[in-house]
Every structure is written in C-alpha cells, then in structure tokens.
C-alpha cells in the first residue's frame, strides 16, 4: 500500500491511550475487538470512506500493522503480564474493557456533547471529521461490541498539521483524502494512495497532540529539557531499525520506527534505551523538622532522567500519591500525611489539568505537616510515592454505572477491574531518622 507516509508516527491516544497489552493482544487477534459477523451499518461505511481500515493497510504494511496490533515479536514478559502497565497498544484503545469501564463511570458525570467528542477524538479520531457519529461510537463501546475502528493507520497518517487554534486539545488536524502523510522526505508513488512528507511526524508535537500533558508546550517539535537534548517521543517509544515500510517492494535501507509504542511503568519493558530506564525511577529527598508533636517540612520529588513530565502515561487518568509517615523505633505509625496528584472523574477534561507531579528535568517540592499521636523514641520519617492507573471513582458514580450493566457477573467483572486499576502501586520511597 503506502511506501513512505505510513511508518513513523501513530502516537495518538487520549483518555487513556491507554491501557492495553494483556487485553490488547487478544482483542486484535479477533480483529481489533470488532464483531466481523455483524453487517456494516451505513454510518460505519461513511467513516471508512475516509478512514480505510487497518486490515486493508496490512496487505502492504504487514510489519507495522502487526506491531501496532501486538501480534509480532512479543516478549514473554508482555505475554505473561496480568496487568497492562507497560506497552499500551493504540490499536485496541477503543474496544478495551478498561476504556469501556472508565467511559461508563465518566458518563455518570453527564459530560456535554463537546466533551464526549473531545474524549473520543483521541480514541476514535474519526469523530473529528464525523462528529455526528460520536454517540453511535460511544453506544458501541458501552455495548462491548465494537465494529468501528478507533485508532488506525489512517487516523494517524491523515494528520497533515496542527490546528490553527493554539488552545485546541487535541491539537492535530486531519485532512480527509487519499494522501497519507509521513516522515520520509522522498516518498515513492504507488497505485493506492499519494504519499507526502511532513516534518510533523519526527516532532514531539505529533505525539503530544493527544498526549498533551507530556510537555510544558505541547505544540513544540522539541522537548524542552536540559537532558537528552535532541530526543523526541519517537526516539524511545518507536524503536529505530532499518528496513522497508512495505512488504511488497522498496529498498531495505530505510530508517523506520517500530509501531509497538511501548511505554514504561515497570522497568525493563521498553525495548529501547535501557540506560534511561536505569535512571527512570524518581528520587525522593525529605527535609523535616519536629517541634513537639508537630512535624513539618517538604519532600522533593526529583525527575532528572526523563525529558518529559513524570510520571504520566495518559493525558488525564493516572493518579499519584505522596504519603509521609512518622514511625517509632518499633515501627508503629504515629502520624501520616498524604497528597494526591491527579484529576477526579468529574474534572477529567477540564483545563488546565490537575496538579502534575513533576515536570521533565525538574524537582517538585511538596510541603507537608502532620501531628503525632504521641511522643516516641528513635523516630523515623518515611516518604512513599505510589501511583494508580485510573482514579478511584466516587461510590455514586460507580454504582450509577453498575446499574446500567445487564448481569451480576458483568458487574462483578467491572468491580474487579476498577479495583485492580485504581489500586496504588509503589514507585519509590525514602526513609531517614527524624
């Protein structure tokens, strides 16, 4: 199919691009979660008149398709993971059961039509051309029978430029037509589509058009960082190799990017840049003073190794918890303080975003104050940084969504899934004498 345009930069995902290695592989083996026995509805055919299905692209670009689908060269750590904290496959961002559950809870907040379209703009970019189909796509997601494609080859490679409005989120602008855009400066003609070079595909601003929380300026083509100068998103998340972007013809000497789009929460799962991973974990430093039963001070969360905001992973969902605890010499807690960095469901798409934990290459200083329940000897102060992949929903929101489900078994599955993904997991800690 395409030669040059469709190769390097489908790094779009929004509300949560977010969560699919374990689920993702199975979904794509069945055709990206689509029910192929169901006849296509006219509105889906209308979408596919512009957004050709990725299975069609696969006829020529099988390598990129299979990488995006999670079907090629999977390592055992990805195959065996029960949780999906690492590589979050874009191709399964719409039929994901995690996305379905989060969407169901979020719908209980009664979002406006504009907010619904904004949400789907990164999970199903077709709504930017066909906004009239937003509710139909949401209905399919909530039914669990998705026949429309979400993030696809076309939805990324129809991106021509950034929107003129500097405040627009997501910031990409699609152009409906037969021209596919990509990073190659010398695209070859073919009989299927026109290929056109766009420098956007080698810039950080291509990815941050949906991953808008990553950088201080999501429209910048470079990452504003004093470390790893010249590094962009694609440098790490699209492992570079040499070959051809098509299986049908072309020289095997192109610099091409892998289309796994692997991220990292658990160290070791990103194929590229192991040295960066060794420095990836944040560092904590505690500065505290005790005055009687009062303890106050600040915790410095240092991000000196990652050029983008940390930690993140998706634009709006992740939550981070900084917990400070004072213990006596027997290990008994005498007082604690916790601060949450993140956004609740009710404010998911509001701007500006909730408190970002720490920006790339900088240090976040979080003040704390706590009162001890009693005086003690040999006191130790401990700071622990944890994260969860999604916010814990308010009981009313969760109950509202559960009531929309058809069976007790389905309700139990959702409760288990939400509990798993909202459960805090440790990132790092620091302990020192008080």
**Cα–Cα nearest to 326, from 292, 361, 357, 300:** 292
Burial 1-26 (b: 16+ CB within 10 A, else e): bbbbbbbbbbbbbbbbbbbbbbbbbe
Q: Are residues 102 and 219 in the same domain?
A: yes
Instruction: Indicate if 296 and 248 belong to the same structural domain.
Output: no
DSSP codes joined into one string, 111-145:
--HHHHHHHHHHH-GGGGT-GGGHHHHHHHHHHT-
CATH value at residue 346: 2.60.40.2550
Statement to judge: residues 254 and 300 lie in one domain:
no
Average pLDDT of the chain is: 80
3-state SS, one letter per residue, for 294-356: EEEEEEEEECCCCCCCECCCCCCCCEEEEEEEEECCCCCEEEEEEEEECCCHHHCCCCCCCCC
**Are 346 and 311 in the same domain?**
yes
Last residue of a domain, one of 222, 239, 274: 274
Confidence of residue 383 (pLDDT cuts 50, 70, 90): very high
- Are residues 247 and 324 part of one domain? no
Judged by average pLDDT, the poorest of 47-61, 106-120, 202-216 is: 202-216
> Of 247, 274, 301, at which residue does a domain stop?
274
Number of domains in the chain: 2
* Nearest-angstrom CA–CA distance, 59 and 38: 23
Q: Tokens 């083509």 map to which residue?
A: 221
Residues 94 and 227 in one domain: yes
- Assigned token pair, 344: 């609740």
Residues 34 and 106 reside in one and the same domain: yes
Q: Do the domain assignments include residue 407?
A: no
Q: Phi and psi of 143, rounded to 5°?
A: -80, -20
How many secondary structure helices (H) and strands (E) does the chain include?
A: 14, 13
400 lies in some domain? no
Q: Is residue 403 part of a domain?
A: no
Look up tokens 């139990």; give the residue.
412
E strand or H helix at 233, and its extent?
Answer: helix 233-237
- pLDDT reported for residue 388: 87
Residues 6+ apart with CB under 8 A from 256: 7, 8, 240, 241, 242, 243, 244, 245
Domain boundary among 245, 274, 303: 274
For a pLDDT cut of 90, what percent of the chain falls above it?
A: 45
Q: Over 60: is that where the pLDDT of 204 sits?
A: yes
Residue 150 belongs to some domain of the structure: yes
Which region among 178-192, 345-359, 361-375, 414-428 has the lowest average model confidence (pLDDT)? 345-359
Claim to verify: residue 84 and residue 165 sit in the same structural domain? yes
* Residue 323: how many other CB atoms lie within 10 Å: 18
Residue 415 lies in a domain: no
The answer to the question of residue 10 being in a domain is no
Q: Which domain holds residue 325?
A: 281-393+423-433
Radius of gyration of the chain (CA): 23
pLDDT at 380 > cutoff 80 = yes
Q: Which of 1-5, 83-87, 358-362 has the highest average model confidence (pLDDT)? A: 358-362
244 and 104 together in one domain? yes
| Same domain assignment for residues 328 and 355 | yes
Instruction: Let me know: does 363 contact 302? Beta carbons within 8 Å.
Output: yes
Residues 133 and 219 in one domain: yes
The model's confidence at residue 411, banded by pLDDT at 50, 70 and 90, is: very high
- The mean pLDDT of 187-215, rounded to a whole number, is 86
Q: Are residues 194 and 81 in the same domain?
A: yes
Under the banding of pLDDT at 50, 70 and 90, the label for residue 310 is low
3-state class (DSSP) for residue 8: coil
Euclidean distance between CA atoms 102 and 305, whole angstroms: 31
- Say whether the peptide bond before residue 225 is cis (omega within 30 degrees of 0): no
Domain assignment present for 105: yes
Contact between 396 and 259 under an 8 Å Cβ cutoff? The reply is no
Whether residue 107 lies inside any domain: the answer is: yes
Q: What confidence category does residue 168 fall into, taking pLDDT thresholds of 50, 70 and 90?
A: confident
Q: What is the number of other CB atoms lying within 10 angstroms of the CB of residue 393?
A: 23
């Amino acid at each position: 199919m395409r030669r040059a345009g469709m190769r390097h930069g489908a790094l779009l995902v929004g509300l949560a691009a977010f969560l699919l290695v374990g689920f993702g592989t199975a979904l794509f083996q069945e055709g990206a979660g689509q029910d192929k026995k169901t006849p296509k509805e006219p509105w889906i055919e209308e979408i596919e008149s512009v957004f050709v299905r990725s299975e069609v692209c696969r006829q020529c670009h099988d390598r990129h398709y299979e990488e995006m689908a999670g079907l090629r060269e999977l390592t055992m750590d990805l195959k065996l993971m029960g949780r999906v904290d690492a590589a979050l496959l874009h191709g399964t961002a719409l039929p994901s059961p995690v996305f379905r559950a989060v969407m169901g809870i979020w719908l209980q907040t009664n979002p406006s039509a504009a907010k619904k379209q904004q949400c789907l703009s990164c999970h199903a970019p077709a709504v930017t051309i066909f906004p009239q189909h937003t509710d139909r796509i949401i209905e399919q997601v909530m039914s669990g029978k998705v026949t429309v494609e979400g993030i696809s080859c076309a939805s990324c490679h129809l991106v021509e430029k950034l929107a003129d409005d500097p405040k627009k989120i997501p910031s990409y602008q699609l152009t409906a037509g037969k021209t596919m855009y990509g990073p190659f400066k010398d695209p070859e003609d073919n009989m299927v589509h026109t290929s056109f070079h766009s420098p956007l595909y080698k810039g950080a601003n291509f990815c941050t058009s949906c991953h808008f929380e990553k950088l201080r300026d999501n429209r910048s083509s470079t990452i504003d960082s004093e470390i790893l100068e010249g590094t962009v998103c694609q440098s790490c998340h699209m492992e570079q190799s040499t070959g051809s972007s098509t299986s049908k013809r072309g020289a095997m000497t192109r610099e091409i990017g892998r289309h796994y789009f692997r991220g990292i929460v658990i160290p070791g799962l990103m194929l590229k840049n192991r040295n960066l991973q060794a420095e990836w974990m944040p560092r904590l430093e505690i500065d505290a003073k005790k005055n009687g039963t009062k303890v106050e001070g600040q915790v410095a969360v240092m991000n000196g190794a990652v050029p983008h905001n940390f930690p993140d992973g998706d634009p709006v969902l992740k939550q981070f918890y900084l917990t400070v605890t004072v213990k006596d010499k027997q290990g008994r807690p005498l007082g604690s303080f916790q601060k949450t960095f993140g956004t609740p469901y009710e404010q998911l798409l509001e701007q500006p975003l909730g408190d970002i934990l720490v920006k790339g290459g900088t240090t976040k200083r979080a003040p704390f104050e706590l009162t001890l329940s009693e005086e003690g000897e040999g006191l130790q102060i401990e700071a622990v940084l944890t994260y969860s992949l999604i916010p814990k929903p308010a009981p009313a929101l969760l109950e509202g969504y559960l009531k929309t489900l058809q069976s007790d078994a389905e309700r139990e599955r959702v409760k288990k899934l939400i509990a798993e993904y909202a459960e805090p997991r440790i990132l790092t800690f620091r302990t020192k004498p008080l």
